[in-house]
Amino acid sequence: MKHFIDFHTDVTIDELDALINTAIDLKAKTKASVPHPILSGKSLGMIFSKSSTRTRVSFEVGMYQLGGQALFLSSDDIQLGRGESIEDTAKVLTRMLDCIMIRTFSHQDIVDLARYGDIPIINGLSDDQHPTQALADLITIKEHKGSLKGLKLAYVGDGNNVANSLLQACAKAGMHISVATPSTHACPQFYVDQALADAKITGSEILITEDPVAAVNDADVVYTDTWTSMGQEDQKAERVKIFSAYRVDKTLMSHAKPDAIFMHCLPAYRGYEVTEDIIDSPCSVVFDEAENRLHAHKAILVHCLANEQ
């Protein structure tokens, strides 16, 4: 696996299985306090144009546990934030680092880093995709359900980067996925078409709808995300009106299977996209999901740098 930018382009079906199994194995080693300095001597540059709690901590701690070193690079710390081109940044950092994780706004910036650099590039989040989160989600589902293929995940809310990556990840894993969004905030057809292409191979079934009840019906997993992402704060009032019918509450959850789990990538805003009696209930696995970011990121790092060991 050269890069980890999105599931459709960079991860095969076999590689996805390997990533999940690696993450589960590394998690077991972590819990048992078994050292695993697989990436001793390796360095990870972490470029953050968008701030984050979970992404920074999980990659930094993960690289430390793998025996390597992580360097935090905010837009104030590097020349990329002062007008240096992506091409020049990629060529410079490639000569000093073994891997780059970037969390930014423009997805094209990540693609260009991979194009001009010679080291693995990991997409820590863009406006289009959030694949590291989706991998942690699959790991969490497998832990709670025992397997992935044939399960149904229902995503309800904004057709954003998380939804796009879940479409790709579920299709690649052979999971059925239904996505319910307002028509004005649907997932781009480009990502739907990519998921449909993989679904033909894995047997995944994909439903795109405006009806949250239709999406959640008989689901094994119900998933939502914030209605107002970073950079959209000035749209909050408008978005609350648009998405109010997509709130995950007891009524909506009642249409899922009785043993359905609830997921959210966090941060969550109780009373908006999800009610307290769901996110703080026994069916919620949001903190398992958050913890698995650490193990998912470690697995990605290992697989991206495996050829250099």
Active-site residue flag, 103: yes
82: confidence class by pLDDT, cuts 50, 70, 90? low
Using the predicted structure, report yes or no on whether residue 81 has a pLDDT greater than 70. no
Mean pLDDT of 51-68: 95
**pLDDT on residue 22:** 98
> What confidence tens digit (pLDDT) does each residue in 137-193 have?
999 999 999 999 999 999 999 999 999 999 999 999 999 999 999 999 999 999 999
Q: Could you tell me the residue ranges of all domains in the chain? A: 7-130+291-308, 133-289
Catalytic residue among 158, 265, 297, 304: 265
Q: Which of 25-34, 80-89, 181-190 has the lowest mean pLDDT?
A: 80-89
Same fold, 7-130+291-308 and 133-289: yes
228-243 pLDDT per residue, tens: 877 777 888 899 999 9
The whole model's pTM is what? 0.96
Domain 7-130+291-308 grouped into CATH 3.50.50.60: no
List the catalytic residue out of 54, 103, 247, 303: 103
User: What average pLDDT does the chain have?
Assistant: 95
Q: Is 293 a catalytic residue?
A: yes
133 is known as an active-site residue: yes
In CATH terms, the fold of domain 133-289 is Rossmann fold (3.40.50)
**Looking at 81-90, 102-111, 213-222, 260-269, which range is the least confident one?**
81-90
> Mean per-residue pLDDT for 263-272?
96
What are the pLDDT digits (tens) for 288-299?
A: 999 999 999 999
DSSP string for residues in the chain: ---BS-HHHH--HHHHHHHHHHHHHHHHHHHTT----TTTT-EEEEEESS--SHHHHHHHHHHHHTT-EEEEEETTTSGGGGT--HHHHHHHHHTT-SEEEEE-S-HHHHHHHHHH-SS-EEEEE-SS--HHHHHHHHHHHHHHHS--TT-EEEEES--SHHHHHHHHHHHHHT-EEEEE--GGGPPPHHHHHHHHHHHHHH---EEEES-HHHHHTT-SEEEE--SS-TT-GGGHHHHHHHHGGG-B-HHHHTTS-TT-EEEE-S---BTTTB-HHHHTSTTB-HHHHHHHHHHHHHHHHHHHHGGG-
pLDDT band per the 50, 70, 90 thresholds, residue 83: confident
Residue 84 confidence class, pLDDT cut points 50, 70, 90: confident
Residue from 130, 176, 247, 295 carrying the catalytic annotation: 130
Range scoring the smallest mean pLDDT among 4-8, 77-81, 284-288: 77-81
Where does the pLDDT of residue 309 fall: very low under 50, low under 70, confident under 90, or very high at 90 and above?
very low
130 is catalytic: yes
Catalytic-role residue among 65, 133, 168, 194: 133
